[in-house]
Chains A and B, each alone.
Chain A
Amino acid sequence: MGSARLYLAVAARGFRRYASYRAATAAGVFTNTVFGLILVYTYLALWDERPDLGGYDQAQAVTYVWLGQCLFAALALQGGGVEFELMERIRTGEIAVDLYRPADLQLWWLASDLGRAAFQLLGRGVVPFLVGGVFFPTALPSRFDAWAWFAVALALAALVSFGIRYLVALSVFWLLDGTGVNQAMMICGVFFSGMVLPLNAFPGGFGDVARALPWAAQLQVPADVLMGETGVAGACAFQAMWAVVLLAAGRLVQSAATRRVVVQGG
């Protein structure tokens, strides 16, 4: 039980750390709102031409946009969670200190990232979502259980999101410089999580592939769960499957990395 308290404390520190940058948070809220506004208008035009594109009606497309802006920072869809710090610590060799701690490396960073995600959901995500809900017609459920399942889907999405970014960060043990992988992660993250266009609206076989990738578990699945576009059990099982696979892979890579680790530094 002692270790659970430790990770809870790490998560709480992650939350408070991000909460201390108030001006940056306000700036992020503003920027997400502006991007939401731009995207909403393009989606409205698109759904005007094809009223049932991807199985969504216009109100659902609008909801999807604001949900994307709401989750963009919390799920670090284009990167930018704690993994940048982890990469930097691997690069400089400070990771040796982390390995020396009587705590599990993966759980430590997971706890820290979940704390960050929780703050960014509340601090950065809620306001753009409310703005969208007030000024545009949205398709939000009134039933309590839809919101409860949405919360479950969000928690699983946070695990998947961390799983991807943790793997990317660990690659720095071998690559030493994270610029390239960060870029690749950003490209895949934005495109395959459905920030550009809902994955439901991707055509043909390409769409099928995109909807099976782990990034789909981050935005598309929670959105569909919230709007009742998918069976909740299957959706959450899909997310849980990716979460388990990614976290297990992270654990494997971690043990390989720490066994061969040559700490950088002078």
Chain B
Amino acid sequence: MLEGLRAYRMIAGMWVRAGMTYRVSFVVTLFGNLVMTGMDFAGILLMFSQVDSLAGWSLPEVAFLYGASVTSFGLAHLAAGSMPHLGRRIRDGSFDVLLVRPVPVLAQVGGDQFSLRRLGRFVQGGAVLGWSLVAADIDWTVAKVLLVPLMVVSGAAIFVAVFVAGAAFQIYAQDAAEVQNAFTYGGTTMLQYPPSVFGKDLVRGVTFVLPLAFVNWVPAAHVLGRPYPLALPGWTAFASPLVAAGCCALAGLAWRTGLRSYRSVGS
């Protein structure tokens, strides 16, 4: 585990240095990422230019959901955003090279093509989250203050688990790598809107099957003082770290199973 983290840090550091060689390109693409990920929020602002509330939620409240979803996803994407490219490595056979190195494969896959450009998403989400904390009408308590950073970190861990599970899936699926976009990008998009927008079954699915609801919906219910999705009990707002740990364990298991059944394309 520690060895893996060390290797990850070294690989990521190497890519950061490589990326910094083209400084202008780095700054431009960082800015581009900021704008691009901000487009979703521009869409939300456009919606609220026409209405005062969406499914009973005000703009600052939706901004809170948006900010929490995007910062969590931004952190996860920073750490594991290269994993969707695994399919290509498997297809062209270069995955084999990773297997013979004396470094944990997951660390190599995660650190591959690491780029600080991806910070754009995190920064943009963080700015919206920060604004919402001021603008929303929140009855602050100590528990709520602690819950906000806990929510972001746990949410990031849940998304990392989704990325890792997606990488494991690619060992079987290869060409079908895009399926995981539905859960990663689709997930973070869905969480930007109030749960009351979506059908009951969809909310049940992202609570009990793929527990994305614990990224922000459930903790947000406590912070904003809103009804819990699916009328979950109050303590669930603080359950995100547990859910995240469970997700990571399952994703790790999936990754090991996938790695063990890997068969090279032989080229």
A41 touches B198 (CB 8 A): yes
Q: Decide yes or no whether A184 CB sits under 8 A from chain B.
A: yes
Q: How many residues on B have C-beta within 8 angstroms of the other chain's C-beta atoms?
A: 39
Flag A162-196 by CB within 8 Å of B: 1 or 0 each: 00000000000000010110011011001100001
A-B contact pairs, 27 of them (CB 8 A): A21-B175, A23-B176, A24-B175, A24-B176, A27-B175, A27-B178, A27-B179, A30-B179, A35-B186, A37-B202, A41-B199, A42-B197, A45-B54, A45-B193, A46-B54, A49-B51, A49-B52, A179-B29, A183-B36, A187-B32, A187-B35, A187-B36, A191-B42, A196-B39, A196-B42, A197-B47, A203-B49
A247 to chain B, nearest CB (A): 27
User: Which residues on B sit within 8 Å (CB–CB) of A27?
Assistant: 173, 175-179
> Chain A: interface secondary structure?
helix
User: Which residues on B sit within 8 Å (CB–CB) of A31?
Assistant: 178-179, 181-182, 186
Bound-complex Cα distance A41 to B198 (A): 6
- Top 8 nearest A-B pairs (CB, nearest first) are A196-B43, A23-B175, A27-B176, A183-B32, A34-B182, A27-B178, A49-B51, A45-B197
Bound-complex Cα distance A202 to B6 (A): 49
Interfacial residues of chain A within 109-166, with CB under 8 A of chain B in the complex: none
A46 touches B47 (CB 8 A): yes
B46 touches A197 (CB 8 A): yes
Bound-complex Cα distance A41 to B181 (A): 19
**Highest count of chain B CB atoms <10 Å: which of A31, A48, A177:** A31
Q: Decide yes or no whether A12 CB sits under 8 A from chain B.
A: no
User: Which residues on B sit within 8 Å (CB–CB) of A21?
Assistant: 175
Interfacial residues of chain B within 241-257, with CB under 8 A of chain A in the complex: none
A203 touches B178 (CB 8 A): no
User: Which residues on B sit within 8 Å (CB–CB) of A42?
Assistant: 47, 54, 193, 197
Bound-complex Cα distance A53 to B46 (A): 12
Q: Decide yes or no whether A93 CB sits under 8 A from chain B.
A: no
- For A180, give its contact among B25, B177, B182, B193 (CB under 8 Å): B25
Bound-complex Cα distance A30 to B183 (A): 11
